[in-house]
Amino acid sequence: MRLKVSFLLVFFALAVPVEVPALQTDDVISGLESRYSKIASISADFSQRAFMPGAASSEESSGKLYLKKPGRIKWVYSKGSQDIIVSNGKTLWVYQAEFNQVIETSASIPMAGGAAFDLLTGAAKLRSDFSIAVKEKSSAGWVIELTPKEPAGFKRAEITAGRDYLITKSIVEDNIGNSIEVNYSNIKTDPAIEDSIFEFTPPKGATVLKN
């Protein structure tokens, strides 16, 4: 669960390089930022794999993602766990179903993967906060590596974006080698999403830990 929280609100299929029209890194980042600055809401299915050094296998889960500007997001896990991560832009709740426990904190507290969340909400400052490199180019799009310029809650991130500049995959690696890989599918831009789904009421009997 710690990996899920540290990934938040990070959002980023590696392809074999082939000949494609050359684009400079700055052009690709400008395309991403422009695309997401014009999107007001997103819904998508996601599949997630968490890796830990020395572990024999990965931890797999999947579910549904909802995002709406400004700063509202909801991850609903339906396979692998029944956890929920939701923010109304002011408060962040992380519900750990296994323990019937809720972690409640301010949505303004920086978290690892925040750059991905900022990009998706149109609030990213990628050029000022990260060293950026387009690692791979293919007919399908780009794989972009982000390395924090200043100490952060994670070591590096990779995002895969299609030629339409929509993010289809993200990888976030923390400072001790744990990583989370998320693939996004059935992506819908600007769907109608009610504000009420970004509110959260703890289940009956749940322990609430406020930070």
Dihedral angle over CA of 158, 113, 27, 190, nearest 10? 110
Q: C-alpha distances in angstroms, 1 versus 77, 96, 102?
A: 11, 8, 12
Is the dihedral angle over the CA atoms 106, 109, 112, 116 positive or is it negative? positive
Per-residue pLDDT of the chain in tens (211 residues, 90 and over written 9): 544 544 443 443 222 333 334 468 888 888 888 888 899 999 999 999 989 888 777 889 999 999 998 889 999 999 878 899 999 989 999 999 999 999 999 887 655 445 555 656 555 677 888 899 988 788 888 999 989 888 777 888 898 999 999 999 989 888 888 998 999 999 999 999 999 999 999 999 999 999 8
Tell me how crowded residue 119 is: count the other CB atoms within 10 A of its CB.
26
Residue type, 41: S
- 91: alpha, beta or left? (left if phi > 0; alpha if psi -120 to 50): beta
pLDDT at 143: 93
pLDDT at 13: 28
Tokens linked to 192: 């109608």
Q: pTM of this prediction?
A: 0.81
